Structure 1
């Protein structure tokens, strides 16, 4: 596993990765029962899957993105991956039991998600991040989990032309039954589910300086959850 490049003021490790230069590797496809169990779990706690963006060309692992449309009960899109959990991540000793994960992102009901619309980077970026992050730990022999953050480049740039947010944090989703957060597979392995939440640069800096808990306190204060609002308040603007 990679060693930290440096440490933040709060003592959290910071990793910097250069562009991957490994040769192409044939992708791992999950067993049909594995994928079906994940789909069934999501269907039970979130809703029916309406469509799937099947990956045509894969490297390392085959990542598909599944889409659940808005409903009166959950008036937003839920997108989630299958494929990240086909291989174990290289977790440290203190994260034993968190080797397997899948990701999700929640988009407002007016998000433009047709095939034609997704040719526009301003609408496609959530899917791009889902696929990139799902493959990332396998590309770099590392891991991703709760409270991990990642900037959009170095220096960080806005995720799209529609927002000033320029990075992400992984957190367990709030708008779900607690039983959704992990899924025990038939062979005893456990898959954990994390939401992608966009962050402002000030929020990323605040977390590096003070740690995750004070940032999450601010999220709770301002009622921020996993449903993306590109114009939401910057919780650390004044800090």
Structure 2
């Protein structure tokens, strides 16, 4: 892993692919049950779970909460990223364990047949990819960390120009403080971060001007973890707020 600084002073990490054999992982039933109860308490009843058959490094399940009248979107949450600690820097030990989430429009196709097309599968693909990344590269993920789809960044699929992810804090829960941190019986704290897909220009804005500048624009534009394939690019010239 190499590190350099962006124009805004943020570190940019470049990871090389690790050559290794698959490391089979099994499900941590106690932790998964705790995460499931946490999701149902703060978001809603879990309608289905995408279970992994063969797992590398961590057994990673995807929890699905169906749309409701109050929450007219799917909520998708990982369960298993926190089975292993991340390699956090000194001073960030309390953030060793994390899970990720994002939301999809109520008309998004979530069947196994639909997932044969990357246009439907890429949000799930990237939840799983991001959840494994810290363990694959012995690094960590935290608030405002961005991961592009390649270098240079390429669109996730043919139905979008979105091409990277940034970690944020969830906005869809009423009690963020209670939802953000799940304290397990073994005194481990698991933190729940949301993923927001970004355009390449928005990632460039963060590198140039910092995460605060980007988050301010995203917030003003109403951008959050609910994916909107037609949303405006807040970093493009001519984008105005009214």
| Stretches of structure 1 lacking an aligned partner (at least 5 in a row) | none
CA distance in 2 between counterparts of 1:149 and 1:58 reads 25
TM-score calculated relative to the size of structure 1: 0.96
CA distance in 1 between counterparts of 2:210 and 2:80 reads 30
CA shift, 1:28, in A, is: 4.5
Q: Which residue of 2 aligns with 1:200?
A: 199
2:74 to 73, 77, 81: 77
2:33 to 32, 36, 50: 36
State whether residues 24 and 54 of structure 2, in contact with CA within 8 Å, keep that contact through their aligned partners in structure 1: no
CA shift, 1:35, in A, is: 1.0
Residues 49-70 of structure 1: CA deviation (Å, up to 9, x unaligned)? 1111111111111111111110
1:15 to 13, 35, 48: 13
Q: What SS does structure 1 have at the residue aligned with 2:95? A: coil
CA shift, 1:3, in A, is: 4.8
User: Is 2:194 the partner of 1:190?
Assistant: no
Within 5 Å, give how 1:153-232 maps onto structure 2.
153-176=150-173, 177-178=175-176, 179-232=178-231
Aligned length: 236
State whether residues 27 and 60 of structure 1, in contact with CA within 8 Å, keep that contact through their aligned partners in structure 2: yes
The RMSD of aligned alpha carbons is 1.2
Q: Which residue of 1 aligns with 2:53?
A: 56
State whether residues 78 and 99 of structure 2, in contact with CA within 8 Å, keep that contact through their aligned partners in structure 1: yes
Residues 46-101 of structure 1: CA deviation (Å, up to 9, x unaligned)? 00111111111111111111111100011000111111000100100132200000
1:67 to 58, 64, 69: 64
User: Is 2:98 the partner of 1:89?
Assistant: no
State whether residues 28 and 86 of structure 1, in contact with CA within 8 Å, keep that contact through their aligned partners in structure 2: no
Q: Which residue of 2 aligns with 1:148?
A: 145
CA shift, 1:13, in A, is: 0.7
Residues 160-219 of structure 1: CA deviation (Å, up to 9, x unaligned)? 111111111011111112111111111211000011110011100000011100111111
CA distance in 1 between counterparts of 2:224 and 2:124 reads 19
CA distance in 2 between counterparts of 1:209 and 1:137 reads 24
- Write out the 4+ residue segments of structure 1 that deviate beyond 4 Å after TM superposition: none
CA distance in 2 between counterparts of 1:25 and 1:35 reads 20
TM-score calculated relative to the size of structure 2: 0.94
